[in-house]
């Protein structure tokens, strides 16, 4: 029996207009495809799971499709079929982390000297290209500087700052941003409906939040929870329990207790989360993120918000509970959270460090109010 295809592969975009959350990238590449004006080298940068390699495959298909029309591939020709299946002899994907040495790049360069076998062009997609060794990068630079007319490189990286300036200057660059929770939630809803996975709306929002801007991670956790669930409808509560994460109301209540100086209530709230198997590091991250969002909302000062990726109702709640906080207090809290991150990495009693830090937040706020 053949292995079941994962949801991420099953719903991987095939056309540019199917890519979620990368409007500028899609618009620019679509215009290039309409005019058949492709670069000989591209650099796609951004966080993992945001669509870089999927877009690279689509660009490769656009460059070689036998019946491409107005920036849309036909989906029927040899190029479309073989590239989509990852079986093309002329479109090769290389993992730069696993094939980072000079010998690996020498093999690639040697194969690049041969004309395409079955398609009109050769395209090499190198993922995590920043992990190539210095010698391998130098060898790659030579062929990018003077490529054969049939050859295109598409480099993908999660750390563009590690790419040599000489490589950067010879590539057409595209930055892929984090995908918003709203866009991820919409895509998860579509996939869940297609697959018969019934997740309540609050659960979809929670899965989108867990993914932190990565569509690949979001689809992965949807598949994971769908496989593990025994009920016909998956609730947000069951997702919280399964992944050991906190609900947003619980975090908001902790923030409110800190602001009101209620130490005993704060400890009870923390205890409830720990009993529910929520990790101390996760609680610390969520509380820190809540205070960061309060700061960003203050900066926006009621204007339409593009900095905070939360539903309107949650933004209103944070504005309300943080309205009396001064910017100096928020900066001080940021320093406290920054200091505790290192302590938690080296201390086996993470809960104690978390509790002491949150109580210290109360003391710090009380001190500035005196």
CATH code for the domain in which residue 19 is found: 3.40.50.300
**Ranges 46-60, 92-106, 224-238, most confident:** 46-60
If one compares 249 and 250, the residue with the highest pLDDT of the two is 250
**Mean pLDDT computed over every residue of the chain:** 87
Q: What whole-number distance in Å separates Cα of residue 28 and Cα of residue 42?
A: 13
Residues in the chain: 370
Structural domain contains residue 2: no
On whether both 227 and 254 belong to a single domain, the answer is: no
| Shared domain check, 191 and 254 | no
Q: What share of the chain in percent tops pLDDT 70?
A: 92
170 part of a folded domain: yes
Cβ atoms 63, 38 nearer than 8 A: yes
User: How many angstroms separate the CA atoms of 117 and 345, rounded?
Assistant: 52
State the DSSP code for 301. Answer: T
* Residues near 22 by beta carbon (within 8 Å), at least 6 away in sequence: 50, 51, 55, 176, 177, 179
Position 247 scores a pLDDT of 66
C-alpha pair distances (Å), 349 with each of 279, 280, 342, 356? 11, 9, 13, 11
Residues 358 and 276 in one domain: yes
Q: What is the mean pLDDT of residues 67-80?
A: 92
Pick the residue with more confidence: 195 or 369? 195
Answer yes or no: do 256 and 207 share one domain.
no
DSSP structure class, residue 160: G
With cut-offs at 50, 70 and 90, classify the pLDDT of residue 259.
very high
- Residue 364 forms part of a structural domain: yes
126 assigned to some structural domain: yes
* Claim to verify: residue 46 and residue 172 sit in the same structural domain: yes
E-state strands within 52-133? 91-95, 122-127
Calpha distance 60→53 (Å, rounded): 10
159 and 68 belong to one structural domain: yes
Please report, for the domain that includes residue 345, its CATH number: 1.20.272.10
**Do 161 and 273 reside in the same domain of the chain?**
no
Q: Give the range among 110-124, 253-267, 311-325 with minimum mean pLDDT.
A: 311-325
Same domain (yes/no): 309, 290: yes
- Among candidate residues 176, 193, 216, the one where a domain is terminated: 176
Mean pLDDT on 332-355: 80
Enumerate the β-bridge partners of residue 152.
Answer: 123
In this structure, the answer to whether residues 66 and 155 fall within a common structural domain is: yes
The residue out of 152, 176, 200 marking a domain boundary is 176
Asked if the model's pLDDT at residue 268 lies above 80, the reply is yes
Domain match, 39 and 71 both:
yes
Whether residue 40 is contained in a domain is answered as yes
Task: Identify the domain boundary among 176, 198, 222.
Answer: 176
Let me know: does 333 contact 293? Beta carbons within 8 Å.
no
The pLDDT of 144-150, averaged and rounded, is 90
- pLDDT attached to residue 102: 92
Count how many domains the chain has.
3
Q: Which domain holds residue 219?
A: 181-243
Nearest-CA neighbor of 244 among 277, 208, 272, 203?
277
Question: pLDDT tens-digit profile of 169-209?
Answer: 999 999 998 888 889 999 999 999 898 888 888 888 888 88
CATH number reported for the structural domain that contains residue 205 in this entry: 1.10.8.60
User: Would the pLDDT of 57 be above 90?
Assistant: yes
Q: Is residue 59 part of a domain?
A: yes
Angle at 46 between CA 201 and CA 216, to 5 degrees: 35
Per-residue confidence band for 338, with pLDDT thresholds at 50, 70 and 90: confident
Within a domain: 290: yes
Least confident stretch, 8-22, 127-141, 313-327, 339-353? 339-353
Residue 370 has pLDDT above 50, yes or no: no
| Residue whose entry in the numeric block shows the structure tokens 């690996």 | 104
- Residue 226 sits in the same domain as residue 280: no
pLDDT at residue 1 is higher than 50: no
pLDDT of residue 60: 95
Let me know if residue 1 belongs to a domain. no
Q: Are residues 51 and 161 in the same domain?
A: yes
């Amino acid at each position: 029996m053949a292995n079941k295809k994962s949801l991420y592969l099953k719903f991987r975009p095939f056309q540019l207009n199917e890519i979620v959350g990368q409007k500028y990238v899609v618009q620019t590449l679509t215009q290039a495809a309409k005019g058949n004006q492709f670069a000989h080298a591209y650099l796609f940068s951004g966080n993992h799971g945001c669509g870089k390699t999927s877009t690279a495959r689509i660009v490769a298909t656009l460059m070689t499709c036998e019946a491409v029309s107005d920036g849309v591939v036909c989906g029927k020709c040899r190029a479309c079929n073989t590239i989509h299946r990852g079986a093309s002899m002329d479109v090769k994907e290389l993992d730069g982390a696993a094939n980072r040495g000079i010998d690996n790049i020498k093999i690639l360069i040697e194969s690049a000297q041969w004309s395409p076998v079955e398609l009109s062009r050769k395209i090499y997609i190198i993922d995590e290209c920043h992990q190539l060794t210095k010698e391998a990068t130098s060898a790659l630079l030579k062929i990018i500087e003077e490529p054969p007319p049939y050859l295109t490189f598409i480099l993908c990286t999660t750390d563009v700052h590690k790419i040599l300036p000489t490589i950067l200057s010879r590539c057409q660059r595209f930055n892929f941003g984090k995908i918003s929770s709203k866009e991820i939630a919409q895509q998860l809803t579509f996939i869940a409906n297609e697959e018969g996975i019934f997740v309540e709306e609050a659960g979809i929002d929670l899965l989108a939040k867990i993914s932190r801007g990565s569509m690949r991670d979001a689809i992965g956790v949807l598949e994971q929870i769908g496989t593990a669930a025994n009920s016909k409808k998956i609730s947000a509560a069951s997702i919280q329990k399964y992944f050991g994460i906190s609900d947003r109301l619980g975090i908001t209540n902790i923030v409110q207790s800190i602001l009101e100086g209620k130490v005993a209530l704060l400890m009870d709230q923390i205890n409830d989360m720990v009993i529910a198997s929520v990790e101390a590091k996760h609680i610390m991250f969520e509380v820190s993120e809540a205070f960061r969002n309060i700061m960003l909302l203050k900066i926006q000062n009621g204007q339409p918000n593009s900095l905070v990726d939360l539903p309107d109702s949650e933004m209103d709640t944070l504005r309300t509970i943080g309205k009396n906080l001064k910017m100096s207090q928020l900066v001080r809290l940021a320093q406290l959270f920054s200091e505790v991150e290192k302590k938690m990495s080296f201390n086996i009693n993470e809960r104690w460090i978390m509790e002491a830090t949150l109580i210290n937040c109360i003391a710090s706020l009380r001190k500035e109010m005196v």
